[in-house]
Each structure stands twice: as C-alpha cells, then as structure tokens.
Amino acid sequence: MSNKDTLRKIHRRQVARLLDHLHRTGQSTPTLDQDVKRAFGYVFQDVEAAIEGQDKEIPNEQMGNSVP
C-alpha cells in the first residue's frame, strides 16, 4: 500500500470517528457534518502535498504570510 493510500485510509477513518461521536452525542447537523468533511479534506490535501514536496503554502508561512 502506498503512502497516499495509507493517508486516505487514515483520513476516512478519522472523519468517520468524529462524525460518529457527533451523531452519538446529538451534536451532529447536516451543516456541521459537511464542515467536518471539508476541514479534514483541506488538512489531508496539505499533508499529501507536503509529503510529496509540493506544498505551495510553506514558502508563504516561512515569510510570515500564512493564512489565518
């Protein structure tokens, strides 16, 4: 299994764990579920890009221009 496949499995598992927790505790809403999926998607895209050496935001962060 490639690193990318491993990361995707971790991504799916962690999203599922958080969504399951939100559902079990009555905190889940359709909007929150979508936001969780979106946020995890952004994080894992950045992780994959960094591992592949293609993270375009690292130079900005080194210059103090990171997005808040």
Q: What is the pLDDT of residues 5-59, one digit of tens each?
A: 999 999 999 999 999 999 999 999 999 999 999 999 999 999 998 888 887 766 6
Domain hosting 42: range is 3-62
Residues in the chain: 68
- Total number of domains in the chain: 1
Is 55 among the domain residues? yes
Q: Could you give the dihedral angle defined by the CA atoms of residues 41, 28, 9 and 43, in that order, rounded to the nearest 10 degrees?
A: 20
Overall pTM surpassing 0.85 (yes/no): no
Is 13 among the domain residues? yes
Alpha carbon distance 20, 17 (integer Å) = 5
Strand locations in the chain (E): none
Is 11 among the domain residues? yes
Is 49 among the domain residues? yes
Alpha carbon distance 44, 26 (integer Å) = 26
